[in-house]
């Protein structure tokens, strides 16, 4: 398969949906296209949380449906390229993730880093930028919401937080969300924060334009199956609607 025949790294669902939000799910899939290989990982490792955000896509689709919003999603494993990291970041093509080594990411040649950046990162971010620009051209100011999940145990330590609400420099939407009763153990800037380098998507496509934005992190044991994902979307939809209204 030539690089020209590679599957698209980005899909857009509901591009013309008129809602106030733009939903983004960078780590929606754990696909390893043949042209990039399996990075030296076992099938179990490719299915693990290191390769994607389990449950995040189902949640993102539910939120997009409920909010009548477009959804931009990544189709390739974040171990090949993490779309929420800039090309110069070590985590963009990580050599290790939690307790796992990623053998074929070790000492990547510059040409391979460039190939992945050109083939995965740039098309995805161009698609997001086009979606934002189109809304702005129509006189709209979309709220940018990225949807992720995290593992209940990290380096052997259980995480008690269930719902993490992360912001970049603009904390308006994040604080409007955490001010409400979500029925979940909800924490601001946990289990990650912008200081951990996780706000690249927001910092690139929302903050410079003054668009309200937030990164949602749900513990993945709460998104174990499609029914749980749909239920979580229904639980969070009124919270997000109220928060969006508060920052308008």
Q: What is the DSSP string of 66-134?
A: HHT--EEEE-S-TTT--TTS-TTSGGGG-SEETTEE-GGGTT--HHHHHHHIIIIIHHHHHHHHHHHHH
Pairing label, strands 21-25, 143-150? parallel
Per-residue pLDDT, 4: 53
Tell me the CA distances in angstroms from 116 to 36, 93, 108, 125, 204, one per residue in order: 9, 9, 11, 13, 19
Beta bridge partners of 145: 23, 214
pLDDT tens digits, one per residue of 25-81: 999 999 999 999 999 999 999 999 999 999 999 999 999 999 999 999 999 999 999
Write out the H or E segment, with its range, that includes residue 46: helix 43-47
User: What token pair was written down for 149?
Assistant: 């999940």
Check if the beta carbon of residue 207 is closer than 8 Å to that of residue 170.
yes
Quote the pTM value: 0.95
Beta bridge partners of 150: 219
Residue with tokens 């698209």: 8
User: What token pair was written down for 31?
Assistant: 């696909």
How many alpha carbons fall within 13 Å on the CB side of residue 195? 4
Bigger pLDDT: 211 or 2?
Answer: 211
- Please report which confidence band the pLDDT of residue 7 belongs to, taking 50, 70 and 90 as the band edges: confident
Per-residue pLDDT, 3: 52
Q: How far apart are CA 62 and CA 26, in angstroms?
A: 16
Nearest one of 40, 223, 76 to 147, comparing CA atoms: 223
Nearest one of 51, 30, 41, 39 to 104, comparing CA atoms: 39
Q: Give ∠ CA 183-186-187 in degrees, rounded to 5.
A: 165
Per-residue pLDDT, 5: 57
User: What token pair was written down for 69?
Assistant: 């919003």
User: What token pair was written down for 187?
Assistant: 């924490």
* Residue 178 Cα to chain centre, angstroms: 19
Per-residue pLDDT, 2: 45
Check if the beta carbon of residue 62 is closer than 8 Å to that of residue 68.
no
């Amino acid at each position: 398969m030539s690089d020209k025949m590679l599957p698209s790294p980005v899909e857009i669902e509901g591009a013309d949906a008129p809602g106030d939000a733009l939903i983004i799910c960078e780590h929606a899939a754990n696909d390893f296209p043949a042209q990039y290989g399996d990075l030296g990982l076992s099938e179990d490792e490719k299915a693990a949380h290191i390769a994607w955000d389990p449950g995040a896509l189902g949640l993102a689709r539910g939120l997009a449906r409920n909010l009548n919003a477009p959804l931009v999603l990544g189709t390739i494993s974040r171990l090949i390229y993490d779309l929420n990291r800039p090309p110069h970041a070590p985590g963009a093509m990580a050599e290790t993730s939690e307790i796992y080594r990623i053998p074929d990411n070790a000492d990547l040649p510059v040409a391979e880093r460039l190939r992945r950046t050109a083939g995965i990162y740039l098309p995805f971010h161009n698609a997001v930028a086009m979606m934002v620009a189109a809304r702005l051209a129509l006189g709209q100011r979309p709220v940018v919401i990225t949807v992720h999940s995290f593992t209940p145990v990290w380096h052997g330590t259980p995480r008690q937080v269930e719902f993490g609400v992360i912001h970049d420099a603009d904390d308006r939407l994040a604080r409007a969300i955490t001010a409400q009763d979500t029925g979940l153990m909800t924490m601001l800037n946990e289990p990650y924060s912008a200081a951990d380098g996780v706000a690249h998507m927001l910092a690139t496509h929302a903050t410079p334009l003054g668009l309200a934005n937030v990164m949602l992190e749900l513990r993945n044991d709460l998104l174990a199956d499609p029914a749980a994902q749909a239920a979580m979307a229904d639980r969070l939809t009124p919270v997000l609607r109220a928060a969006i209204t508060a920052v308008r």
